[in-house]
Amino acid sequence: MTLAERIQASVLGALPGAEVTVQDMTGGGDHFQVIVLSPAFKGKTLIEQHQMVHASLGPLKDEIHALAIKTRAV
Amino acid sequence: MTNTTEKIQSEIRADKIVIFMKGTPDFPQCGFSAKTVEIFKSLGFPFHTVDILAHPDIRALLPQISNWPTFPQVFVKGKLIGGCDIVSEMHSEGQLKPLLESAFKDSK
């Protein structure tokens, strides 16, 4: 399982039913963008949504050098 | 001797807008900090900055207090609104200026 796949699984684990897209921005395997669409974001500010995504990564955070996050409440 | 937590809390209360950044507005030491400061300069509201490169204790502790791992960190009226990505997204979607206007409209 690639790191991108592990990121997707980790976010989905914490946000079941979310639509999660992970892109490797440089091909180097440590700069990622993750796009998360989830009903769980409804009523949450952008910062709260991003904090939820950060929290869903758990220990994976240490393997990721740069992470751009895009979230939408759906 | 005030501890780091107290230092952070007093900095957060120092002004309506507080930016914990790498470097200073005139000499930002990181692209994300520079971009964030440019946005606030363009909006024209006064803001207070803290150079976390000069305060390693704040740099180490703030992420745990604010539950946000990276810098810069922008606080408006004591509440974290985000880092560079979020501030830029709010700015491009026209959400940032109204937020600041209402922050400065309140008397307290």
For residue A23, give the nearest of A73, A72, A68, A63 by alpha carbon. Answer: A68
| Residues of chain B found within 8 Å of residue A47, distances taken between Cβ atoms | 68, 80-82, 86
Domain containing B91 equals: 3-105
Q: Minimal Cα–Cα distance from B54 to chain A, Å? A: 23
Domain count along chain B: 1
Cβ within 8 Å, pair B86-A54: no
Q: For A16-50, what is each residue's pLDDT tens digit?
A: 999 999 999 998 888 899 999 999 999 999 999 99
Please answer whether residues A19 and A37 qualify as being in contact, where contact means their C-beta atoms are separated by less than 8 angstroms. Answer: yes
Q: What is the mean pLDDT of chain B?
A: 95
Please answer whether residues A47 and B86 qualify as being in contact, where contact means their C-beta atoms are separated by less than 8 angstroms. Answer: yes
Residue B108 — pLDDT band, cuts 50, 70, 90? low
- Does the predicted TM-score (pTM) go above 0.90? no
- The mean pLDDT value for B65-80 works out to 95
| CATH code, B40 | 3.40.30.10
Query: Which residue segments constitute the domains of chain A, with CATH numbers given?
Result: 3-73 (3.30.300.90)
Q: What local confidence, expressed as pLDDT, does residue B1 receive?
A: 58
